[in-house]
Structure 1
Amino acid sequence: MSTHAQQQAAREWERWHEERTATVSAPYGPLSLTGTHWLADYPEGRIPAVPGRWREEGGALVLDAAPEDGLTVDGKPFAGEVRLGADRGPVDASRAAHEGRRLVVLSREGLWAVRVFDPESPARRAFRAIEATPYEPRWAVPGTFRPYPDARTVRVENADGVERGLGLAGEIAFELDGAGHTLQVAVEPDGSLWAVFADATSGNSSYRFRFLRPAAPDAEGAVTVDFNRALLPPCAFADHFICPFPPPGNTLPVAVAAGERQRADG
């Protein structure tokens, strides 16, 4: 990589880092998550942190609210019953809200939950920065995506201690300092890749695991593996996320001293 290309890549990384910091610290970013409340834990339908009565019915959550609950649905004061599916868009576009808090409906493996995002969360108030290593060319290497003949699902522990399925569609092969490595990856709807990985820095100078999101490979499977853009998972910002741990084989034996490393509070 030429000096000019390195300088441009470093500038692009700086912009990426600034955008990441803004996204994380936004009013309804991951720092604002104050609870993930599984309906199975509240068979009577009353979640202490959330107004209204909630129940599962026919593949959806039904919310029964009284006027005094102070809830809104689709931006309007709500009383009565409404069926809510899982929210899949931005948090601030969730259908239900309460006094500035967004109530996000979540479904995982047939279980339903209500998540609460509060811009006044202690974590958001305490946040100062994402500690990250400045761009270094050596951490951006060419790789090859090798799809599996058939997609597979492995059971992995999640950050909340529950084992869940993690879908994997192939692996990327690459070299670091002359040694070959592979990471198992999922393929996102837009064709980009997603890996959950750990390395020799995990739990020490960096968070216990991180995400990597390479762009979609080309027709020959070529892909850039850029650890400068290793991401902290959402559970690094709030304890109530259920991020998957790395699957077997995704712990690299080298120290990847690159990308996002830790959350820093002031």
Structure 2
Amino acid sequence: MPLAGQVVGNGVRLVRPVGRGSHSLVYFAVARDGQPCAVKIFPAHLGGYADREYAHAHDLLHPRLVRVIDRATVEEQPALISTLARGEVMFRRYTQRPAVQHERRAFLLTMAHLLDALGYLHGRGVVHRDIKPENIMVEEDGSAKLVDFDLSGPAFETFDAPMRMGTAAFQSPEAARGEPLGPESDLYGVGVLLGWGIHGFLADTDEPHPHTLDPLQPLYLSLIRADREARPNDAALVRQELLRLAGLPY
């Protein structure tokens, strides 16, 4: 049944569905004080994902991350209340492609903000594990926030069996093999997105790389190296290199 109009948590009113997370339906909502927020509602049998996301994200506080505020229940379904990330998902925001040719400064700001978010996450010992356009909300000027932490967890976390995490088109080789993931695995996804911005399409990393004279190409190629040991693993340094190559101030 429709959930719009219901009140959850401490006076948060659901307004309308606005999208989907990896395992959830996301509603636009309004808090008691009138502030907009988001409510992620999980199917009852996926309560473990809600618990996991809350445990790993509720104390994260950074301007480039949505903030998970509270845990709630909606008609016996687990839910998370978070701040609202404004804008559109990355690929819908950049409709003129390649983005670095049509909106270079805005696109590079998006990438810098994504790397800011990852630098903070990685500094807290957490990896996102699902870097993809749907998890990056972008405003008109290119400002961006990273969302959806239900696959996130401690760096190099191990499981009883191999866990293939992430979305195939943006997944690092080690993620596809089900290995424990570290910061370099998130940065592989950043590389795929950077390549999309440079070339205007998702390149097949198993094929010869598209030719370009763009100065960002070497950074793109370094981020998508198949060997994780040869790949950058420091988001702050990648951000510095991105801006240096682009000729923009730090």
TM-score normalised per structure 2: 0.27
Bigger proportion of residues as strand:
1
Q: Larger helix proportion, structure 1 or 2?
A: 2
Q: Which has the higher contact order (CA 8 A, sep 6+)?
A: 1
